[in-house]
Amino acid sequence: MPHISVKLYPGRSEQQKVRLVEQIVKDVVSILECGEESISVAIKEIKPGDWAEKVYKPDILNNPDKLYKQPGYNPFE
């Protein structure tokens, strides 16, 4: 039962968010061979000024063993 959490800057339209979730669900069903009914997806908007402290530091910098794709930026540089 995967739950996917997406964090992003504000400014995407509801249509873009719906399309993103639809594609994520499609790929999860295909790759993990599970039913669509077992998948949940949350989207949380994070202001750019809060990104380093609310996302980068706790989710990326402090969890390298859980990160499967490194970002190409460092907000502290």
Q: Would you call 2 a catalytic residue per the annotation? A: yes
Residue 56 to residues 13, 24, 43, 60, Cα–Cα distance (Å): 23, 22, 16, 5
What is the DSSP track for 7-33? EE-S---HHHHHHHHHHHHHHHHHHHT
Catalytic residues: 2
